[in-house]
Amino acid sequence: MGIFTKKSRIAAPVEPVFQWHSRPGALERLSPPWDPIHVVENPGGIKKGAKAVLKMKAGPVPYTWAAEHTAYEENRLFRDEQIKGPFSKWIHTHRFEPDGESACFLEDKIEYKLPMASIGNALLDPFIQRTLDRIFTYRHRITAEDISLHLSRKNQTPLNILVSGASGLIGSALIPFLTTGGHRIVRLVRRLPLADTNEVFWDPDSGVLNPHDLGKIDVVIHLSGENIGEGRWTKDKKKRIVESRVKSTDLISKVIAALNPVPRVFVCASAIGFYGDRGHLLLDESDGPGNDFISSVCAKWEKSAEPAVQKGIRTAFMRIGVVLSPLGGALSRLLWPFKMGLGAKIASGKQYMGWVSIEDVIGAVYHTMINDAVKGPVNVVSPVCSTNIEFTKTLGRVLSRPAVLSIPSVAIKILFGEMGREILLSSTRVKPETLLNTGYRFRSPHLEETLLQMLGKG
């Protein structure tokens, strides 16, 4: 039998740490972004007899992993054992040990055996140990950071949170974070809601959202909108970009303004595209909009929330930068060419790109939710801005690949037209002034550290 153990001290009492692991979303939060899992079935939590079925990959090869929980002692331990998967035996024991009243030790112990164990363990055990160490270093860090964020909220009463765009890159990461904190999520969907779920139908194009379907809502998080970074901006595409944001925000704003009681806070996504191409100027939330198409989109987007603002609902516009995650967005599209040694700066590479890790998007949204001092525009970018050439060199270094090529600006303009000029060639140097001034502590402020953690290289 091979044995792997990872033990960490968590600066929180044992009870909330155990509860965090027992709630929906814990598996998703513990899944490393460089090796994600897809939860097929997990109906019973972590108590004895509960089973979970996951879809995973070994490199490019997909496989199914099924496990059954075989032991459970509240606030002390739970154990799961593989019933289907690549190992001939896999027993994972999660232990929780108090360390005074305000801290505890979290220990993951895995006992495993490979098929053809005498040969397999000798050849693969060092690789398995290194892989598990990377995974559980990530898991323990996420656990500690998430719980610290949740406990930073003075009132621990669970919230009812309405979310649009729940299946997007941000929504799919944010919702597991919120559910592990004990909150109830109501998802807005554009299809027939599934039975026995907290899903509510809406159709922004037709102005359909029944307030009676919502119930009591404490927080509204609006993330939906047409993807601006895919394809050329044809006349029809630009119309969809504008209308998908304006119509949806106007509808949500009017509906929540009519609720009784109204929600405490409305968190509405926006983008740093609000500022347009501003070269090397350092911008904060006090600066006005640029003159680009995307600037006008963001300005109209934020203006559409006026019914909520007029009703007195605390409203925050999250002007989000380039979100870094290997699971979607710009980084996921860049990984393949960079891994092939085809990494390239865009034009001169001197243009600034306001980037932010997906974990800090989650953290910034939560900070905004629970902090009454945060309202109006909120720049959601790392405090350490990077140029395109700095990003290119850093990603190449993290992947141990050359990144010395360059894509001429003329090629960007020919291939992508207006979208290329405003998204790929423009320079927007932004400071997260509001977050810093209200005490938000960035989880991943430095680019190289962020990429190392996300890609499992650290």
pLDDT at 117: 60
Low-confidence ranges of the chain (pLDDT < 50): none
The H-or-E segment that residue 80 falls in is strand 77-84
Contact call for residues 270 and 302 (beta carbons, < 8 A): yes
pLDDT at 230: 79
CA–CA separation, 218 and 106 (whole Å): 32
CA–CA separation, 178 and 1 (whole Å): 37
For residue 64, which phi and psi values (nearest 5 degrees)?
-105, 135
E strands, 99-171, are 104-113, 160-164
Name the CA radius of gyration of the chain, rounded: 23
pLDDT at 119: 60
Domains of the chain and CATH, by start: 2-151 (3.30.530.20), 160-454 (3.40.50.720)
CA neighbor of 386 nearest in space, from 454, 455, 322, 458 = 322
**8-state DSSP, 194:** P
Distance (Å) of CA 178 to CA 95, 147, 222, 294, 442: 23, 11, 15, 30, 18
- The three-state secondary structure class of 368 is helix
CA neighbor of 283 nearest in space, from 382, 434, 431, 427 = 431
The β-bridge partners of 297 are: none
pLDDT at 194: 87
Contact call for residues 381 and 355 (beta carbons, < 8 A): yes
Distance (Å) of CA 79 to CA 82, 97, 111, 396: 10, 15, 11, 40
**Inter-axis angle of helices 117-151 and 169-180, nearest 10:** 80
pLDDT at 229: 81
Residues in contact with 245: Cβ distance below 8 Å, sequence separation at least 6, in sequence order: 225, 226, 297, 300, 301, 304
Contact call for residues 20 and 146 (beta carbons, < 8 A): yes
Quickly count: other Cβ atoms within 10 Å of residue 115's Cβ: 10
Quickly count: other Cβ atoms within 10 Å of residue 129's Cβ: 13
**8-state DSSP, 404:** -
HEC sequence for 204-272: CCCCECCHHHCCCCCEEEECCCCCCCCCCCCHHHHHHHHHHHHHHHHHHHHHHHCCCCCCCEEEEEEEH
**8-state DSSP, 117:** H
**8-state DSSP, 203:** B
The tokens of 264 are what?
């405490």
Residue in the structure block whose two tokens are 């949170």 = 161
Residues in contact with 242: Cβ distance below 8 Å, sequence separation at least 6, in sequence order: 297, 300
Residue in the structure block whose two tokens are 């740490």 = 17
Q: Is 61 left (phi over 0), alpha (psi -120 to 50) or beta?
A: beta
